Structure 1
Amino acid sequence: MERVYIYRTEQNKTRLHEKSYSGHTYKCVKTTCAHSVTEVMIQIAFQEGPNINIIWDRKEVNPTQLYMFMHHKKSLRKSSHWILDLKQDSLSLTFPFHGITGGYDLLVCGLKPLSAETTGLPYYQVYGSASEKDTSSRNTMTIHLKRSPPEQYFQSEQNGDFDVEKDHMPPSHYTLFGLPVRDSIHVIRVHQELPPAYFLYVHKGSNGSRFKFPNIFIPASDYHVTVYESEAQKGGSSDRGISCYSTAKVSNVLHFRAYMTKNEVNELFVKSCNFVQKQQDSRFVKIAHFYRDKLPAYFDFIFEKNCGIMPTYYKTISGDKASTIHLNIKGIFFNTLVKGKKNKKPKISCHGTKRLHIPAPFFFEGVNIYFADFYCHYTAHKVTLIFAVKGTKDDKFCSARLKMVGLFKNPFLYINPEGNVFVRSGVRVEVFYADEIDVQSLMHELGGNNVFLTDVRPLYRPRDIVISKPKRDDCKICNLKARSKVI
């Protein structure tokens, strides 16, 4: 017979009473104490197997629901989930392991309900937890709920059965898609790194392959999402406040950093402006060309196989990992850096041995300019500007997410009414031009003295050239406040 014992410590009295509930017996014991309520212990006795005592401090956490997750050490597919409603006087559980719990680990979490959709399915934030391992080594265990659950349970690296992906809508709303559409339940667990938080959602597979998270994700925080495709266990326990799900498949962990919103983009913009103002050699210098350094094979492809057209490609993670433009818009990178008193282009390059020069005024025709990023890798800081053709989908995408700056006046790169282009020398300004370029036609139109190729000395061997890499997370100059709190 299963029994649930509820012990509550209060002041000045000891009472013992016994009631019947659904054919089972439970006891509530109230003992003497010189202070107010401090803790509640719920003891769940298995029909066969170990007893599990779960204790939590009412001053720290006071859950109305508990989440219990038991999984096999070698396979998340051999796992079960329980969501227990603690508003009732007692609960009776039947675990589907038939007393064979050896080799399973247990996670217990206190849950705070979040707003739910009209489906009535539960959405929770985890705000207290405890865990136990090696359940086969003893018959009983006592575990205390703490402020946050163990991270390893929320971002397992085991190989999964399927992939899930995310979709983003500004400012910081996310939808999960790629869920299997079956008559099953999806238990979705989310670990938020900054600030530390954990969430649990239940979604019906028959409701479709997409799940919109009801809460806003924190910009610049890293997230780890795992989906368990589970079967609801039958037996009529739901009317007693118990939901039990047995895992059939588990997804690969989806890792991503939540995009910065316009507020965070503005924060980076202010940081970049403050940075250039503090530089000793911070001035505007006139430049004639934007340039692009690549290996010879790249330009051979353009002129020999692509009719002289330079194609666009998706913006990779070469700056702040929270930037919303990564893998969302296509374009072509160009450099604007000049050095020395004579404002000469660098003679060496870390991107290739061939350099294409295109007159700078060409890029300002029919575009809007957006500030997108401020970052560094080692010592040199860079600003990324997006040049988006007016009215295109990329222009609309940037308008909703980035900070627009003026063509004729901005802190980094502008053109004057006479058609001269000036760039700020105190920071490296890179341009991401969101459109393909017909280089061959430009050469014919503007002449070989204006659009041309030159050789450049490589900084690295060709096989060592780095295509892209994220910014330094430990830089106090160019990181968002949310990131700098953990540096």
Structure 2
Amino acid sequence: MESHLAHSLSSPTSPCNDMLKNISSLEAIQLCDREGNKSQDSGIAEMEELAVPHNIKISNITCDSFKISWSMDPKYKDRITHYFIDLNKKETKNSNKFKHKDVPTKLVAKAVPLPMTVRGHWFLSPRTEYTVAVQTASKQGDGDYTVSDWSEVVEFCTADYSKVHLTQLMEKAEAISERMLRFSVFYRNQHKEYFDYVREHQGQIMQTSIKDNSGSHGSPISGKLEGIFFSCNTEFNTGKPPHDSPYGRYRFQIPASKLFNQNTNLYFGDFYCMYTAYHYIILVIAPIGSQGDEFCKQRLPQLNIADNKFLTCTEEDDRLVYHHAQDAILEIIYTDPVDLSLGSVAEISGHQLMSLSTANAKKDPSCKTCNISAGR
């Protein structure tokens, strides 16, 4: 396996420089693979006396960094000048054999005290499985290296976005959310069979389900938060929900006050696009004290329900008034079951536009509007 590490990452003027706090002196060299194969011009020789790292420990894992430490025979410590760290996305049966797109990375770091922090969004993605192995190395006067055998291979998985990362994402979403439109109902589009099943087998109660993997790869709600998806976007000229839907020709409508009021909390969940000009914002509405509310409190930025850029509930003349952001498509997750008797179900007059579906949609990692500097 051949891999190069660009000189630009170690440049003192590089914007990425401060993201490798403890890794320094990165050098663009060809390294041998873990099977011990070496190219003739690699400048690397093997020296059995060099300490082989063992008992590899990974800790302090975030979405774009981790700490690594290991044990080794201390009597060889003075000979060690560098560490070689082989970091790769964990392969699966369907992995692309040509992994240049996945940026397999050989890091060359000066021998610093352990544990050592590895940080960098250009090669670490959130919620992704990686393998890592380590060599110790001694740089010779002619620039060549002598190296130990590779350590054992250790696997780990990077973390979800933290609240700090989500706050950065929320600020990006706020930058495009300047205009608000008034609305009065939340709605959920589905096929007729879905509503028939709810009536016949669930006592008219729409049950929650686990959120799919659409949106940002690092979103902490994907595959974890239980809820029911609703929409609230309206047509600018009518103030009513659109005639078309990507999810089915039947629509459940419920007064906004039934789901969103002073007894609920509101959270920012995600901001993404799917290689399109328009963007999606995911918000979570959770009844105060509910299981969903406790889940969100630990992971998501909380919004003031009366004062935010996305979805507001205010009181005017002793009644609740609602507004939604006009410049993005809002996806609302309500974290509790909902009774069909609280609203109404009717067939819509428009078309089923499947191309607008966001089910398991993949976020565009190159979009400057909805990506942050943390791992993609």
Provide the TM-score with structure 2 as the length reference. Answer: 0.63
Higher relative contact order (CA 8 A, sep 6+): 2
3-state DSSP of counterpart to 2:346: strand
For the structure 1 residues 304 and 439, does the alpha-carbon distance in structure 2 shift closer, same or farther, using more than 3 Å as the test? same
One of 337, 341, 346 as aligned partner of 2:237 = 341
* Structure 1 letter corresponding to 2:204: G
CA contact (8 A) 1:370 1:404 kept: yes
* Structure 2 letter corresponding to 1:431: I
CA contact (8 A) 1:317 1:469 kept: yes
3-state DSSP of counterpart to 1:400: helix
Q: Which residue of 1 aligns with 2:373?
A: 481
Provide the rounded CA distance (Å) in 2 between the counterparts of 1:71 and 1:436. 57
Provide the rounded CA distance (Å) in 2 between the counterparts of 1:246 and 1:370. 43
Q: Once the two structures are aligned, what percentage of the paired residues are identical? A: 25
Where do 1:379-458 residues align within 5 Å? 379-417=277-315, 418-440=319-341, 442=342, 451-458=344-351
CA contact (8 A) 1:380 1:428 kept: yes
* Structure 2 letter corresponding to 1:455: I
Once the two structures are TM-superposed, the CA of residue 339 in structure 1 deviates from its matched residue by 1.3
3-state DSSP of counterpart to 1:482: coil
Provide the rounded CA distance (Å) in 2 between the counterparts of 1:244 and 1:422. 59
Q: Which residue of 1 aligns with 2:173?
A: 272
Once the two structures are TM-superposed, the CA of residue 332 in structure 1 deviates from its matched residue by 0.6
CA contact (8 A) 1:257 1:322 kept: no
Once the two structures are TM-superposed, the CA of residue 219 in structure 1 deviates from its matched residue by 7.3
Provide the rounded CA distance (Å) in 2 between the counterparts of 1:274 and 1:424. 11
Provide the TM-score with structure 1 as the length reference. Answer: 0.50
**Does 2:34 correspond to 1:69?**
yes
Provide the rounded CA distance (Å) in 1 between the counterparts of 2:36 and 2:193. 52
Q: Which consecutive residues of structure 2, in runs of 5 or more, have no partner in the other structure?
A: 1-24, 38-45, 53-66, 75-81, 109-114, 134-147
Provide the rounded CA distance (Å) in 2 between the counterparts of 1:454 and 1:350. 13
For the structure 1 residues 159 and 350, does the alpha-carbon distance in structure 2 shift closer, same or farther, using more than 3 Å as the test? closer
Query: Would you identify which runs of 4 or more consecutive aligned residues in structure 1 move more than 4 Å?
Result: 82-85, 148-151, 193-199, 213-220, 242-247
Where do 1:127-166 residues align within 5 Å? 149=86, 155-158=90-93
Where do 1:349-364 residues align within 5 Å? 349-364=245-260
Once the two structures are TM-superposed, the CA of residue 389 in structure 1 deviates from its matched residue by 2.2
- Structure index of larger Rg: 1
Q: Which consecutive residues of structure 1, in runs of 5 or more, have no partner in the other structure?
A: 1-58, 73-81, 92-112, 121-126, 130-147, 161-190, 200-212, 229-241, 443-449
Provide the rounded CA distance (Å) in 1 between the counterparts of 2:360 and 2:370. 18
Once the two structures are TM-superposed, the CA of residue 264 in structure 1 deviates from its matched residue by 1.1
Q: Which residue of 2 aligns with 1:86?
A: 50
Q: Choose between structure 1 and 2: higher strand proportion.
A: 1
Q: Which residue of 2 aligns with 1:115?
A: 69
**Does 2:211 correspond to 1:319?**
no
Provide the rounded CA distance (Å) in 2 between the counterparts of 1:452 and 1:355. 5
For the structure 1 residues 198 and 355, does the alpha-carbon distance in structure 2 shift closer, same or farther, using more than 3 Å as the test? farther
Provide the rounded CA distance (Å) in 2 between the counterparts of 1:403 and 1:472. 23
One of 174, 187, 201 as aligned partner of 1:291 = 187
